[in-house]
Structures are given as C-alpha cells and as structure tokens.
Structure 1
Amino acid sequence: MSGTTPPPGDPQDVPGGPGGGAPTGAAGDPPASATSDSGVRRGAALMAGGTAVSRLLGFLRAMVVIAAVSATGQVADAFSVANKLPNVLYMLLAGGVLNAVLVPQVVRAYKRDAGQEYVDRLLSFGFTVLAGATVALTLAAPLLVRLYADACSPAQTSLATSFAYWCVPQLFFYGAYALLGQVLNARGSFGPYMWAPVVNNLVSMAGFGVFIALVGQVRSAEELTAGQVALFGGSSTLGVVAQALVLVPFLRRAGVRYRWRWGLRGSGLGRAGTVATWTFLGLAIGQLGYVVVSRVASAAPGETCDPSTAIAGNAAYDYAFMLFMLPHSLVTVSLATALFTRLSAQAHDADVDGVRAGLSSGMRVVGLFTLLAGAGLVVLAEPVVRLIMPSESQDGAVQAVAGVLVAMAVGLPAFGAWSMCQRVYYAYEDAKGMVPVQVVMAVVVAGGALLSRALLPNSSWVAGAGAAMSVSYLVGTVLAMRALRGRLAGRIDGGQIVRTHVRAGLGALAAAGAGWGVLQVLQGSGPGGFVGAVLQCVVVAGVMGLVYLGALRLLRVRELDLLLAPVTSRLRRRLGRRSV
C-alpha cells in the first residue's frame, strides 16, 4: 500500500493499496511561469517548507488526537475508519481524474487564448462531480463503514457511522483544495497550495483541544454523546474546509476570476479520460487489498472489545503508517520527483539508455537513504512511537503501535524501489502496464492479512498485515523490473542495482547493531518517558548515521556522493562566501 493516513490535509498519502496514485508532478507540463531556474528554486523552496511544516503539525495533531481518544480502543478505531474514508474516496473518485485529466488541462489552458474561460468550465465540471459524489457517499456512510470495518461491537459500528456522517463531506473540500491549488500553481503561485494544510492542522487541533478541555480522554464507544461526536468529527472536517477556503483570496491575488460555466464538448478530454480510467482501476485494485487489512485490523481487539486492552487496530495501523511514510515524504519523494522530470523528457524522446540510467541511478541513491531510514525505524520504533504518544499511560499501546511500525519499516527500501518503478511507468504514461503488478501486490497484502488472522494471536494481526505490505512492495518491485526490462531494450542495470543495495545493506546492519547497543545503554541508565525518548532518538540516530557513512566509505559505495551532493555543494557555497 503506497499510501496511508497522512498528516491531515495532505491527501497525497492516503490509505491505499499497492501502487498508489500518480506521483507528484506526473500529470501535465510544468507551468510556464516556473520554467526558469529561479522560479523552480523559489517554488521548490516554498513547497518544501510547506510540506515540512505540515508534516510537523500533522504529528502534533496526531498527539492531540491520541490525547483525546488514545491510539487503541473503540473510539480511536471508530474515528480512524471514519476519518480515512474521505481520503480513500478522494483518491479513488477524484485523485485519478484530477491528476490524469483536469490538472494537465488547467496547466495547458493558461498557455493559450481564452484560457480562463476553459478553466472555468473545467472547475465547474470538477465541482459538480465532487458535489454529487459527496452527497451520494455521505448518504452511503453506513455501508462504507461496514465495508471497511468488521467492528467488535454494535456500539463501535454505530460510533464509526456517526463519525462518518461528519467526516465524509471532507471529500468535496479535499477535491476543491486540489483543483484550486493546481490553478494557483499554473499561475506561478506555489506557496498557498503547500501551506494551506497548515491551516487545516491548526483549525482541527483547536477543535480537538476544546474536546479535551470539555470531555477529557475517552476510549469506550458508550461514553460519547451525539454532541461530543459532532464536536470531534466536525473539528476534523472544519479543518479541511478551512484548507480549501484559504486559497480563495490567493486566487484573486493571482488574477483568477472564476465564473460558473458549463460545457466541455470538443475539449479533447477523451485520451486523458482513458489514462484516468486505468489510473482509477489501479487505485481500486489497491483498495481491495486495503479493505481486507482494514477489516482485519478492526476485528483485532477481539469479541469482548474491551477498551482497556492495548491491541493494535485501525488507529494503530494509521499511526504506524504515518511514521513509516515520514522518510519517504521528506526525502524519497524529493529525490524521485527531481528525477521524474528528466525521465519524462527521456521517455518522450525515446531515449531508452537515458531512462535506464535514470532508473538505475534513482534506485541506487534512494536505496542508500531508505536502507538507513528503515534500519533506524526498526531500532527506534518504540522511542519514535512514544514521541507522538506522550499522553498515553499504557505502555502496551506504545508497544502495539511500535510492533506494527517494525513490520512496515523492514519494507521501506522495497517501497522506495517500487516508487522509482512507478515513476518510469508514469514517464511513459503507461498506467495500464502497472495494473497486473498491482493485482499481484493486492493479492499479497490481502492474503497476508488473512493468513495473519488465521495463524497469529489477535495482538499480532495488524503487525502481520504490515509485514504483508512490506512483502508486496518487494514482489511489486521484482515484477515491475521484469516488465520494464522489455521496454528498456532487455536491460535494466540489475547487477549494479543489486550490488549497491547489498553493500548498503551491510552498512545498515552495522549501523543497526551499533544503534541497538547504544539504545540498550540509554534505556538502562537514562531518563524515561518523553524526555528519554527524545534523547534516545537523537543519540541513537546520530550514532547510526555516523556508522553507516563510515561503512559506506569502507565499502566504496560511490552513490553516497550523489546522495550527499546537495548538502556538500551548499556547504561549499557558504564556505566560499565566508572566505570572500
């Protein structure tokens, strides 16, 4: 599953199945206003800053939610199912259409005469589709909850449905945010789109804070009144509403004057619609696997559904996945997206050698980072989880989430490799070619989750599903590389890719061993609680980083220079300025 519950307001990494959606920037040409070097750097800086702040606030929001409803138990799992529904639905019903059809058309419309009139028609069409889908799916909230949850009690199912009535309307506002944000990007205004999720997090956290002040922490479904459900679920939705509406003043500032216009006849959307169809199919296949995982996770607490037990369920899965996605979203996405533009140009020019070299280089450089990041998450799983759960009094809840995180983290290198394979598929505009791979990955995820339920104790069901997800990324990468070999003239530079990963893997094992030893010392003699978790993460991460870099030097892994190139060049520039 390439996506999960993101820091709120970022519907790019949503709960999903194998394959995920199109990578950022996969659709359409870059805006004309951003093609200069200065425009690219300025836009990249604004986007990176917005993403980093949004991720940070997303973790703070998670801490507030955990303080209100814990990370395990009936209320946490009920809210988890309900609040992920609009993200899942956005990805399925709007994400594919927006990425494959509307976004490229918006970008191109501003490059010709009468562009605003055409954009008005695209926006009107998009708003209409979103509104109709949102109304229909809100009415279907009880069915959606029963599809994604095999809840352990009628009270939990009822609570999840009540939350869903408040949360599913987020679908419209997520879609509106994406549409309006892409219009701003096409006009050369990058900052608002990436910074708007900050508003979402602040607004929702304020509402959750009011809930905590009035109610405190609740774990049992029977404890919540209708008004309290409205306050908690409504706070989540109000944040998404604010995220969309905050873009409106910036549209006016960018010179966009939207007017309702209808009619898309002769717009040339037929070919793009075909791409969207295959994109949607791939996303839907992935969701079939995730439905199985969600139902297994919701059933994990057992028939008694005792809210005092700390057994990983849907909420624990979401928090573990949020931590799993952090290295990918902050580093891997940046590396892969930077490479994607070049891959697209090479694919367009039929430069097979260039695409092969780009894929090889990208997989090797991304692998250096993901191997260390995965090892770090495995070693530091419990301290890292404790950072987002400082209010959690039960050690069992921390250990439950940490166990799921470890199962996912071992698959982080394979996830990075699969992400690079995706970029090649999208560079060739071949969403159809990924579908067979996505089918196999979905079968692995669903089969692994069901096998875990059949063979493991219920306390390990969700961790087993996380391990199945990790296996699916490895299987998907192998199958995708075999398929891409045919497109790349029978060669994919597999030998060099494997050699680099083996050497870096040895370095990661050495780093993990050193980090584990230091962690045992700190846990035995250092402070505990939140302060101890911060100390452990900082010290152990530092030790592992140094050991890893030293091992890569000893093993002569030359891709290290490519990974560190942006940092070293910046340091040289700064030192040069000081010397002058």
Structure 2
Amino acid sequence: MSGSSAPPGDPQDVPGGPGDPVEPLGDESGAGDRPAPRDGVRRGAALMASGTAVSRVLGFLRAMVLAAAIGGTGQAADAFSVANKLPNVLYMLLAGGVLNAVLVPQVVRAYKQHSGQEYVDRLLSFGFALLAGATVVLTLAAPLLVRVYADPCSDAQIALATTFAYWCIPQLFFYGAYALLGQVLNARGSFGPYMWAPVVNNIVSIAGFGLFIALSGQVRSAEAWTGGQIALFAGAATVGVASQALVLVPFLRRAGVRYRWRWGLRGSGLGRAGKVATWTFVGLAVGQLGYVVVSRVASAAPGAQCDPTSEIAGNAAYDYAFMLFMLPHSLVTVSLATALFTRLSSQAHDGDVDGVRRSLSSGMRVVGLFTMLAGAGLVVLAGPVVRLLLPGQPQGSVDAIAGVLVAMAVGLPAFGAWSMCQRVYYAYEDARSMVPVQVAMAAVVVGGTLLGRAVLPNSSWVAGAGLSMSVSYVLGTVLALRTLRGRLAGRVDGAHVLRTHARAGLAALAATGVGLVTRLALQTYGTGGVAGALLQCAVVGTVMTLVYLGGLRLLRVGELDQLLGPVLRRLRGRR
C-alpha cells in the first residue's frame, strides 16, 4: 500500500489517473505541437471537470444500488468485494502504475518527433499483448488469488468469491486498454473522452445491478446464490468496464491517431522505459504485499460469527470507506497533480531544477489547503456521509463503515502531499529511488494492521488498517522530501510548505471544533434518517467551510487566492 490502496472499482481512483490538462501538446485534431489557445484549455478543463463530476455522482448511485443488492457488510458483500477488487489490484500491479509512470513522458516526447506515431503504435501493441496474456493467466489463477487475498469464515463464501473472480478478473485487460488509449488521447490534446468514459461504465453497471434487484431482491448469504445470479451480477460489472474502454476507440481517429499493429521493441526507445517500468513494478509489488495483509485481516474480521448479515466492517466496508476517502482526492488532488505532471516532466527533461522545485512546492501548498478542509469534513461528517451513500443499510453497518472512513480521512492531507512527491520521481523517470520509501510505508501498513488485529476487537480491525495507512502517508512524504533534496540541489522549499500546512491545520482544527458542536446540535434538535444526514452535511459543511476560509484569511495564507482565484473570477463573470 505504499502510495495507494486498491481502488474500489473506478479506475479514476487510481492515483496517477486522468486529470486536468494545463499544457496540451496540440489542438483537438492532434495536428500539431502548438499549444492550444488559453480558451481551449479552459474549455477542456471544464469538460473534464464536468465528466468527473457526473462520473462521481453515478459512482455513488452505483454504490447505492450495489449495497441494495448485496448489503454494505456481510458474506456476499465481502465476497464480491474481494473478487471485483482483484482486477483493480492486478491492474495497478502489472500495468497501471507502470503505464502512468512510463507512458506520459514517453508519449509526450514521441509526438514531438517525426516518427512519433510509429513509437506509439509499438507501445500500444506491446501493451495490448502484455495485458491479454496476463489476463488469461490470472483468470485461470482465480482460486489461488482469492485464497491469497481473503481469509473468509466459510467454504461457501470462498466458493462464491472464486466464482465472482472468474467473471471479474477479465476486467484487467479493459482497464489497461482504457489507460493506454486514454493517455494517447490526452497526449494528442483530446481530454474529454478519458474523463467521460467512466460514465458509461457506471450506467451499464447500474442497469445490471438494478436488473438483478428486480429479479432476485437482496441476496446477502453466500449459500443463496445461483449460477445465473452470479453471471448477471458480476457480468454487469465486467461489461461496464469493457464499455468504458471501447467507447474511446472512435475518438482516436478524431484526435488524428491512426493506430497500426507494429511489433518489435528494437529502436523504439522502450528499453529505457522498461527500466522505469521495472522499478515501478517493484515499488507497487512492495505496496501490494501490504495490501494482501490488509485484505486478509479485513476478510477475517467478521469471521468469528460467520453471519451472512454481519454488521462488522470487512472488505466491503473498506471499499465504501475508501471510495469516500478518494472522492476529494480524485476531484481536486489528482487533477492538479496530473496537470502539474506534464509541466514537471518538461522541466525535468530540460534540467530546470528551480522550475521543478517551484512546481512541487506550489502543488503541495495548494493541495494541502484543500485536503485539510476535506479531511476535517470527512472526520466530522463520516456518519451522515455514509448514511447518504447507503440509505437503506442498518445503522450498525453505517457506523462500521464510518469508523473506517474517519481512520482514513485523518491521513488525507499527507496522502495529497505524497501524491505530489510521486509525480516528481516519475517526472525524472526515477522509480528506483522511490522503492525504499515504499518499503518503509508498506512496513508501517503491515505492522499497524497486524498490531490492530492483536490488540483491538475484531469490529475495529479494518479501522486499525485505515489508521496505519494514514501514518504510512505521513512517513512516505517525509522520506520522499528528504530523498528529493539531493535531486533538487539540496532544497525542496520545505519551510514554506510546512508553514502553509501548519496554518491550514490550525484553521482546520477550528473548523472541526465548530463543526462537531453544530452537528451535535442538529442531532439533538433535528430530524434523523436520510433527511437528517442531508441536513447535517449541508449545514455543518457550510459552517466548517466558512470558518476554515475565515481562519486562512486571518492567518494570511496567500495560497488561498491561488486555490480560489479561478472560482472567484468565474463568479465575477471575468474571463
């Protein structure tokens, strides 16, 4: 888990995924290396932001329908969680991080050369072949993979998870194809399709899960599933991912890409990229060793009772909490980090050390302002937020998921800072130097998770794992900044970054205190249920935001203008 955790089904949750472009290489037709006009950049950013927002809304609806079909906790929910996360985990391990670490710098350079399309053709051909071979082998290995990642309480649950896995692991190929095609489109200046494609995934999944509910209702016991129900439920998830990838194909031609199958790596420049990919793979493998421990502890947490309707946090509860944890990160941090990554790659390639330092410092400070407020908000409003996500679930399940969310949310600012540091390593194509940091982070996750299992009641095992993740992000950021000092001529502007985070932390603490008091008052005198949760989120969220912004102004945090400037200009009608 060094740097990321297994995402709960949406590839946009993978750190390093699609983001907000700042410096596209060409215009919408992909016909040149001339930067797009500033108005075109703004239109592209607005298009992608709207795609992300729609995808997130539909993602929440998908989660609601999923929970209505199999519950938020219990045997079936945990079995599907393990199976449907396997393609995500395997994608991150075998392709995701490698593609994100290698593809952006390589494709950016390729399209600046006369033979750029031939290079991209070879890269795509190699990527598709690698994905296809890995998908076949890993699908056949489904029983072994389920046993590695799960420690369930019954044979029926392990059998259900294994059957789900046979249907879900083929998603690996389509996740990889989506990443490959999407990054090529981004490099050609066509940004919208990559951000809107997950909308198709969510629509298809929602339709499939809804049909399942109409035919079968809610099925929480592992022993109650039939072959037809499994095929419909897991098949809908896989068809959704396939649709997400295939919908990009028509946009390639519009972006000026004429892909041809070309085999052979000699002379393509992939040898250097392969070295980066190798070390990226090592780092991700180390992180996944940590995730194996977390997944097994989470699957064992409800095992003492082996109750199909258990309300103890397990793998499914982890997924729902992680989805909420990733929401602010994916909406803001990933967009900013990915936008800066293009700039960082160019600055690193040109040897502009001062430019890299400025970009890293600015990114960490601006991201920190947002993640401080977002983390505080999730801590205060964890219960109401989970209730809105899972309106039909029993209170015990809501409380279990909320506890995991709080443990994760305290580490959100550190997670944002660590994500920015990762981009600098990748900009220099230096994944090797990141491996020791990832080893230390994985050790914290493994040690913290096992310690939590040893000293906490089983109802808190998953929350203990979430807290160990938060600690690992703090450690990773500190170690990364220390190692990056050598790369950046002995300075990372750490004092400036620390001052900004300290002031933002004080403002966030004030907002948290006021938010807790406000929520308590609403709980005492307001309504309950979904309506009460909605009221609490609206009122407490607004109060916390105002207190936080006021605190930042009082503490004279200049980065606030940088964060809010585009929003204020739009509200004032300025272009």
TM range (shorter): over 0.9
Match of 1:441 in 2: 441
- Report the Cα offset of residue 78 of structure 1: 0.5
Structure 1 stretches of 4+ with a deviation exceeding 6 A read: none
Between the aligned partners of 2:351 and 2:112, the Cα distance in structure 1 is: 25
Alignment pair present for 1:400 and 2:408: no
- Report the Cα offset of residue 509 of structure 1: 1.1
- Report the Cα offset of residue 244 of structure 1: 1.7
Between the aligned partners of 1:560 and 1:30, the Cα distance in structure 2 is: 26
Alignment of structure 1 residues 208-357 onto 2, 5 Å:
208-357=209-358
| Distance change (3 Å), C-alpha of 1:332 and 1:260 | closer
Alignment pair present for 1:32 and 2:17: no
TM-score by length of 1: 0.92
Alignment pair present for 1:514 and 2:496: no
| Distance change (3 Å), C-alpha of 1:367 and 1:185 | closer
Asked whether the equivalents of residues 4 and 13 of structure 1 are also in contact (C-alpha less than 8 Å), the reply is no
Between the aligned partners of 1:417 and 1:109, the Cα distance in structure 2 is: 30
- CA-to-partner distance for each residue in 1:427-451, whole Å, 9 max, x for gaps? 3222111110000000000111111
Match of 1:472 in 2: 472
Alignment pair present for 1:361 and 2:355: no
Alignment pair present for 1:534 and 2:528: no
- CA-to-partner distance for each residue in 1:231-260, whole Å, 9 max, x for gaps? 111110011111122223333444544444
Asked whether the equivalents of residues 184 and 193 of structure 1 are also in contact (C-alpha less than 8 Å), the reply is yes
Aligned Cα root-mean-square deviation (Å): 2.3
| Distance change (3 Å), C-alpha of 1:84 and 1:124 | same
Between the aligned partners of 1:342 and 1:245, the Cα distance in structure 2 is: 29
Match of 1:420 in 2: 420
Asked whether the equivalents of residues 445 and 468 of structure 1 are also in contact (C-alpha less than 8 Å), the reply is yes
Alignment of structure 1 residues 188-207 onto 2, 5 Å:
188-207=189-208
- CA-to-partner distance for each residue in 1:204-255, whole Å, 9 max, x for gaps? 1101001111111121101111111111111100111111222233334445
Match of 2:91 in 1: 90
| Distance change (3 Å), C-alpha of 1:241 and 1:168 | same
Aligned partner of 1:359: which letter?
L
Between the aligned partners of 1:184 and 1:556, the Cα distance in structure 2 is: 41
Please, which moves more after superposition, 396-405 or 349-358? Answer: 349-358
Between the aligned partners of 2:187 and 2:483, the Cα distance in structure 1 is: 34
Between the aligned partners of 1:199 and 1:164, the Cα distance in structure 2 is: 22
Asked whether the equivalents of residues 177 and 247 of structure 1 are also in contact (C-alpha less than 8 Å), the reply is yes
Between the aligned partners of 2:537 and 2:186, the Cα distance in structure 1 is: 37
- The alignment partner of 1:33 has SS state of coil
Please, which moves more after superposition, 515-524 or 556-565? Answer: 556-565
| Distance change (3 Å), C-alpha of 1:118 and 1:382 | same
TM-score by length of 2: 0.93
Asked whether the equivalents of residues 81 and 149 of structure 1 are also in contact (C-alpha less than 8 Å), the reply is yes
- Report the Cα offset of residue 519 of structure 1: 0.7
| Distance change (3 Å), C-alpha of 1:287 and 1:12 | farther
- The alignment partner of 2:332 has SS state of helix
Between the aligned partners of 1:97 and 1:480, the Cα distance in structure 2 is: 19
- Report the Cα offset of residue 537 of structure 1: 0.3
Alignment pair present for 1:459 and 2:459: yes
Between the aligned partners of 1:310 and 1:335, the Cα distance in structure 2 is: 37
Please, which moves more after superposition, 245-254 or 50-59? Answer: 245-254
Between the aligned partners of 2:111 and 2:425, the Cα distance in structure 1 is: 27
**Identical counterparts, % of pairs:** 78
Between the aligned partners of 2:212 and 2:412, the Cα distance in structure 1 is: 36
Please, which moves more after superposition, 415-424 or 320-329? Answer: 415-424
Aligned partner of 2:542: which letter?
G
Between the aligned partners of 2:340 and 2:180, the Cα distance in structure 1 is: 25
- Report the Cα offset of residue 413 of structure 1: 1.1
Aligned partner of 2:453: which letter?
R
Between the aligned partners of 2:561 and 2:430, the Cα distance in structure 1 is: 32
| Distance change (3 Å), C-alpha of 1:462 and 1:122 | same
Match of 2:392 in 1: 391
Alignment pair present for 1:489 and 2:489: yes
Aligned partner of 1:320: which letter?
A
Between the aligned partners of 2:141 and 2:254, the Cα distance in structure 1 is: 39
| Distance change (3 Å), C-alpha of 1:5 and 1:52 | farther
Between the aligned partners of 2:124 and 2:504, the Cα distance in structure 1 is: 47
Q: Note the residue ranges of structure 2 that are not aligned, 5 or more in a row.
A: 29-34
Between the aligned partners of 1:411 and 1:100, the Cα distance in structure 2 is: 24
Between the aligned partners of 1:183 and 1:498, the Cα distance in structure 2 is: 37
- Report the Cα offset of residue 103 of structure 1: 5.4
Alignment of structure 1 residues 132-211 onto 2, 5 Å:
132-211=133-212
| Distance change (3 Å), C-alpha of 1:531 and 1:237 | same
- Report the Cα offset of residue 96 of structure 1: 3.6
- CA-to-partner distance for each residue in 1:510-532, whole Å, 9 max, x for gaps? 11111111111111222221121
- Report the Cα offset of residue 420 of structure 1: 1.9
- The alignment partner of 1:137 has SS state of helix
Aligned partner of 2:224: which letter?
E
Asked whether the equivalents of residues 301 and 462 of structure 2 are also in contact (C-alpha less than 8 Å), the reply is yes
- The alignment partner of 1:302 has SS state of helix
- CA-to-partner distance for each residue in 1:346-404, whole Å, 9 max, x for gaps? 33343333333333332222222111111110000000001110121x10000000000
| Distance change (3 Å), C-alpha of 1:96 and 1:112 | same
- The alignment partner of 2:11 has SS state of coil
Asked whether the equivalents of residues 4 and 322 of structure 1 are also in contact (C-alpha less than 8 Å), the reply is no
- The alignment partner of 1:32 has SS state of coil
Between the aligned partners of 1:560 and 1:59, the Cα distance in structure 2 is: 29
- CA-to-partner distance for each residue in 1:11-40, whole Å, 9 max, x for gaps? 2434xxxxx6x565799x953336223443
- The alignment partner of 2:304 has SS state of coil
- Report the Cα offset of residue 330 of structure 1: 0.8
- The alignment partner of 1:300 has SS state of helix
Aligned partner of 2:439: which letter?
V
- Name the count of aligned residue pairs: 566
Asked whether the equivalents of residues 121 and 262 of structure 1 are also in contact (C-alpha less than 8 Å), the reply is yes
| Distance change (3 Å), C-alpha of 1:520 and 1:87 | same
Between the aligned partners of 2:183 and 2:427, the Cα distance in structure 1 is: 20
| Distance change (3 Å), C-alpha of 1:23 and 1:484 | farther
| Distance change (3 Å), C-alpha of 1:231 and 1:309 | same
